[in-house]
Amino acid sequence: MFPIFLALFGLLVAALAAGIAFREFTKKIAIVASGFVLAAMTAVMLIMFFLHISISQNYMYIPQLNMGLSFSINPISIVLLMMSSIVIFVSALISKDGGASLLTIIFEISALGLFASSNLLLFYIFWDIGVIAIFFIINVFGSAERKGAAFKFLVYSIAASSLLLAGILLIYSYLPIHSFNIQYIIQNSQSIPEFVQWLIFVFLAAAFIIKMPIFPFHSWIGGAYTEAPTGGSMLISGVLSKYGAYGLLLLFLMMPIAHQLAGYIAILAGFSAFYAIFVAIGQIDIKMMFAYLSMAEMAIITLGITSFTALGESGALYGMLAYGLGMALLFMIAGSVEYMFNSRNISIIKGIIENSVSTTYSFLLGAFSATGVPLTAGFIADLLIFIGAFEGFGFYGLIPLAAIVLIGAYLYFVASKSFLSSHKHTEAAFLIEKKVKVGYAILLFFIFFFGVFPFIFLNVI
Amino acid sequence: MFALFAVLPVLISSLLILAIRKNRAAKYIALAGSIISLAFAVIVFLTPSAQYSVDWFSASNLVFHITIVTYALNKILLLLVAAITPLIFTYSIGFMDVQREQSRFYTEIGIFAAAMMLFAISGNLITMFIAWEVLGITSYLLIGFWYNKQKPPLAARKSITTIIIGDIFFLMAIVVILSAYGTTNIASLISTAQNSHIQLPLDASLIFILVAVFTKSAQFPFHEWLSDAMEGPTPVSAFLHSSTMVKAGVFLVMVLLPLYAMANLEWILLVIGIASATVAIMNALSEHHIKKILAYSTIEDLSLMLIALGLNNLLAALLLFIVQTFYKALLFMGAGYVMKANDGEEDIFKVYNIKKNKMLFATVVIGVLSLAGVAPFGGFFAKASLDSSATDIYVYAALLAFDLLSSMYIFRWLIVPSGKSDKNMQYKAPRSMAIPMAILAAFTAISGISFFALGMNSAQPLNILDMVIESGLVISGFIISYLFYAKGLLPNVSLYSLKYRIMHNSFFLNIFYYKIAGFFEELGEQFDLFDHSVNRLFNMCGGTLVRSGNFIRKVENGNVNVYAVIFVFGIVALLAVFEIVAVL
């Protein structure tokens, strides 16, 4: 069984086919390919749940340098693989442009490769493939001010990538046997001198913080999230931001010095959560608002990671799943709203329920997930993250829960103002398409599925 | 496990309504589901207590369970909810007569009912939290049901914002309890807490739970949402105030009462209970809105229950809990009837005379008498037994004052609309609205029996003095109200008078909340400005790079003379550096 090779190869073939041979069918090819990956990942998830196995594949590429292709699907990576294949499938489904679909396939290669790689070099390579794909999605298919936004995104991403590469190379060269293998690094990282560890931690943590983002390296999200097309915003908020969180999780597993420095990251994350939600309150652009909500949620995930408890880390992982799906849903709604009203200004958008009942209720359910209402995946995430945070930091760890209150208060404010209200003067231009409704349904199904059956992942971890 | 069968019919019927979306069939499906639920609830009530637990999921060393228990308290609440649900649904058939709203209404209210039933039988905090949150969000949807009107969305937003604070506090309590004890099962929690001495986490989590309770049961300072929640349809108000939602908070304290006794935190219940009752009574005495007076009276009833729990008198609290369910549902239905008859007019000074409608008047009078605490009705026993359990003189004085004043405002509620003789009410409600009222009136009339059914006549017999004092106060309340409002001794309190404003602002709390909300919005704008400057800072870094590049670029201008000069200076500088290095 070679699920990852197969999936990556299949996607590559699909991308080539879509890009070169059958240009008129690109959208369909993207849907079929990502649907195939989603089905495969679902199968892998069920197999892993019932048989309790991990899958790993290795292929030595440059033996002299101890480099190679090595993938493994373990209980941690399957969560993110599942999440990203769902989000990417929906994103491909609602894509309006063939070119964006092609880039979505390429991004899927990146996401699958990154979350499944058991090797930091591959991690780096797939990370950059993702950045490039997103850059083109924003730059080519975005809205009016896309060029500047894409450029800013690229600058930040290059900074993150170079820090990442520097950190990875430091790890590689200071290990007793040079290696990129994550398992090997986890076992042998205590032999790295403390100062170098410190340096590695700073480099990698900075790279991941830029990607998540956490205050103060968040300036790129304003442009990137808002100017990207709907599918692109979904990919950034759902999947790309999880690259950083997943990397941070790996960093905390790999570097023993993280124990000493976790507190600083936690304080930064706590501050970032409040900062983001307050900035979100100040927004009038619905996509901008969701961008900062996503930032607040990433900060809460970070809190779980930095708690250094098993529960906190499972919670953070579950949070990546729950918030990934939830934010993708919210951005999809923002896209539909923009499509309906031709505006993103929440003081103009009114009476969505009279135009589209499905959008309204999807928003409410998405808000429930974001505020951790039970039976949505968000609840499991919040519960575990905050048990971890309480065990790690005591009562201080519970303070960021206030950010969730603010998130909820603000989301319901928007709900009553824009969604569950009636409009007198504004008229919606269009009705939303059926495939968008299917997209909502898929995301909501999984949000509730993972909220009701959390044991599929958690009992295995 | 069997107790779940009481929850499922309501839940399944409401999901069915959601699935088929047939407006015409919705009410019958919902009613059928609720009646089946009632049948199961009766069976559960008659079967012996049981506990059933199933693993939900595990993470690292913690296992999370879904636990269903049917102890005495759980069975009572389950039966109450199951009994009220079909009555509310029947009433809704008459009240909610707009065809296209039907399936949405019955779906939401069905899930609401199911959540409350699940809450009644849940045996650990996780299961409770699930039901608690579902209650919160369905109440949000129901309060904002008429989204196309002006006020309901705002009321819904206010309620959910308050409730979400409580939810997060509940979550905090669960987190703390889980890390301290490793379990959320209430029975094992009580026994573990007795044997171990982990004081701080227990105290903290109990206080967190109290905050959650005060938000849910609309106690001071979180009571503002409940009177606004009157914007929802009347069947929802009747349901929300009688057996569901607000009762969830009190019920939670009831099942956790041994822990509060252990941690010596009962004084909080007393303080908050008395404060809330005071605020509620002041508001109720000055309010004109027919449903809001009842809403404030609900706050007062809940405060009395919490005071009873604070006095460690579980039976009195339980008695009031049961009795209040019937009379409050009845009074709300009556209020809905009046509003329906007056085309939605809600001011008690403006509605038609209700005395002419014999059926309405008779049922409402029974409800009012029970609420006020007149002798043979349930309210009397509850209040008298509560009075007799007060040990502290101040608490006792407060309780007596509440007896008098609550009788005053509820008789005001009754006397004012039935005083005028010029306008008679012509409207006859459909039978589906009248029958549930008649049934509830019958229940209310005999609700005094529960005093004996709970065994309180032997456990805490009432003494004659308390009964006489209570009755005397209630009667004086009636007389004062009669003199004020029927005989016109007290002129109508205008909505703009100073007196009204003093009585009716809950110590400026509402204004304070709007100030806080405004402050947060202001803060948001400031943060946004700050964020722009962070943005500019990073842009400036980029700009500086570009500018310095442009500056250095000027060197490479193709002018050979400049190159030569730079070359010479470079050589000199290099030599100087070498020289310095050599010297050092």
DSSP B267-282: HHHHHHHHHHHHHHHH
The number of angstroms, rounded, from the C-alpha of A9 to the middle of its chain's C-alpha atoms is 23
Q: Which two tokens stand for residue B490?
A: 């007290």
φ and ψ of A431, to 5 deg: -100, 150
A276 close to A301: Cβ distance less than 8 angstroms: no
Give the per-residue pLDDT at B424: 59
Q: Which two tokens stand for residue A395?
A: 């009562």
Q: Do B147 and A422 touch (CB under 8 A)?
A: yes
Contacts of B153 in chain A (CB under 8 A): 416-417, 420-421
Closest Cα in chain B, distance from residue A255 (Å) = 21
Closest Cα in chain B, distance from residue A409 (Å) = 5
Per-residue pLDDT tens digits of chain B, which is 584 residues long: 777 888 888 888 888 888 887 777 888 888 888 888 888 888 888 888 888 888 888 887 888 888 888 888 888 888 888 888 888 888 888 787 777 778 888 888 889 889 998 998 888 889 999 999 898 888 888 888 888 787 888 888 888 888 888 888 999 899 888 888 888 888 888 888 777 766 777 888 888 999 999 998 888 888 888 888 888 888 888 888 877 888 888 999 988 888 888 888 888 888 888 888 888 888 888 777 888 888 888 888 889 888 888 888 888 888 888 888 888 888 888 888 887 777 767 777 777 767 777 777 788 888 888 888 777 787 888 888 888 887 788 888 888 888 888 888 888 888 777 766 555 556 677 777 888 888 888 888 888 777 777 777 777 777 777 778 778 887 888 887 777 777 766 655 565 666 666 666 666 777 777 888 888 888 888 888 888 888 888 888 888 888 898 888 877 777 888 888 888 999 999 999 998 888 87
Buried b or exposed e, range B293-302, using 16+ CB within 10 angstroms? bbbbbbbbbb
* Residue to substitute from A357, A373, A382, interface B, most B β-carbons within 10 A: A373
Contacts of B171 in chain A (CB under 8 A): 372, 382-383, 386, 401
On whether residue A450 sits in a domain, the answer given is yes
Q: Do A398 and B172 touch (CB under 8 A)?
A: yes
* Residue to substitute from B64, B147, B150, B184, interface A, most A β-carbons within 10 A: B147
Of A372, A373, A416, the CB nearest to B153: A416
Biggest CA–CA distance in chain A, Å, is 72
The helix-helix angle for B4-20 and B23-46 (nearest 10°) equals 170
B304 close to B371: Cβ distance less than 8 angstroms: no
How many domains does one find in chain A? Answer: 1
What SS3 state is found at B289? strand
A415 close to A352: Cβ distance less than 8 angstroms: no
What SS3 state is found at B328? helix
Taking only Cα atoms into account, the Rg of chain B, rounded to an integer number of angstroms, comes to 31
Distance between CA atoms of A340 and A238, rounded to whole angstroms? 23
Beta strands A55-62 and A67-73 are antiparallel
What is the ipTM metric for this complex?
0.90
Distance between CA atoms of B55 and B107, rounded to whole angstroms? 29
Q: Which residue of A has its CA nearest to B131?
A: A374
Q: What is the DSSP string of B42-111?
A: HHHHHSPP-EEEEEEEEETTEEEEEEEE--HHHHHHHHHHHHHHHHHHHHHHHH---GGGHHHHHHHHHH
Count CA within 13 A, CB hemisphere, residue B59: 26
On whether residue A342 sits in a domain, the answer given is yes
Q: Which residue of A has its CA nearest to B142?
A: A420
Report which of B249, B252, B298, B257 is spatially closest to residue B276, judged by C-alpha positions. Answer: B298
Closest Cα in chain B, distance from residue A79 (Å) = 14
Per-residue pLDDT tens digits of chain A, which is 461 residues long: 466 777 777 777 777 777 777 777 788 888 888 888 888 888 888 888 888 777 777 777 777 776 777 888 888 888 898 999 999 999 988 888 878 888 888 898 889 889 888 888 888 989 999 999 999 988 888 888 888 888 888 988 998 999 999 998 888 888 888 888 888 888 888 888 888 888 888 999 999 998 888 888 888 888 888 888 888 889 988 899 999 999 998 888 888 888 888 888 889 988 999 998 888 888 888 888 899 998 999 999 998 899 888 888 889 999 999 999 999 999 999 888 888 888 888 888 887 877 788 888 889 898 888 888 888 898 999 889 998 888 888 888 888 888 888 888 888 888 888 887 777 655 655 677 888 889 999 999 999 999 888 888 887 76
Q: Which residue of A has its CA nearest to B518?
A: A281
Contacts of B520 in chain A (CB under 8 A): 278, 281, 406, 409
Closest Cα in chain A, distance from residue B13 (Å) = 19
Give the per-residue pLDDT at B490: 64
Distance between CA atoms of A335 and A434, rounded to whole angstroms? 14
Q: Do A310 and B60 touch (CB under 8 A)?
A: yes
CA dihedral (A239, A241, A245, A248) in degrees, to 10, reads 120
Q: Do B523 and A281 touch (CB under 8 A)?
A: yes
On whether residue A174 sits in a domain, the answer given is no
* Residue to substitute from A303, A354, A411, A413, interface B, most B β-carbons within 10 A: A413
Q: Which residue of B has its CA nearest to A288?
A: B528
Neighbours of B542 (CB within 10 A): 12
Q: Do A281 and B538 touch (CB under 8 A)?
A: no
Contacts of B543 in chain A (CB under 8 A): none
Give the per-residue pLDDT at B432: 77
Q: Do B58 and A280 touch (CB under 8 A)?
A: no
A369 close to A447: Cβ distance less than 8 angstroms: yes
Q: Do B524 and A281 touch (CB under 8 A)?
A: yes
Q: Do A353 and B523 touch (CB under 8 A)?
A: no
Contacts of A416 in chain B (CB under 8 A): 144, 153-154, 156-157
Closest Cα in chain A, distance from residue B91 (Å) = 26
B348 close to B417: Cβ distance less than 8 angstroms: yes
Contacts of A76 in chain B (CB under 8 A): none
Of A354, A422, A455, the CB nearest to B57: A455
On whether residue A425 sits in a domain, the answer given is yes
Q: Do A383 and B144 touch (CB under 8 A)?
A: no
Contacts of B130 in chain A (CB under 8 A): 374-375
Distance between CA atoms of B52 and B49, rounded to whole angstroms? 10
A392 close to A451: Cβ distance less than 8 angstroms: no
- How many residue pairs bridge chain A and chain B with CB atoms within 8 Å of each other? 137
Handedness of CA A253, A254, A259, A262 (dihedral sign): negative
Closest Cα in chain B, distance from residue A208 (Å) = 18
On whether residue A93 sits in a domain, the answer given is no
A322 close to A369: Cβ distance less than 8 angstroms: yes
Closest Cα in chain A, distance from residue B126 (Å) = 9
Distance between CA atoms of B80 and B450, rounded to whole angstroms? 12
Buried b or exposed e, range B446-455, using 16+ CB within 10 angstroms? ebbebbeebe
Distance between CA atoms of A350 and A415, rounded to whole angstroms? 10
Q: Do B133 and A374 touch (CB under 8 A)?
A: yes
Contacts of B157 in chain A (CB under 8 A): 412-413, 415-416
Domain region containing A314: 257-461
Q: Do A279 and B527 touch (CB under 8 A)?
A: yes
Closest Cα in chain A, distance from residue B146 (Å) = 9
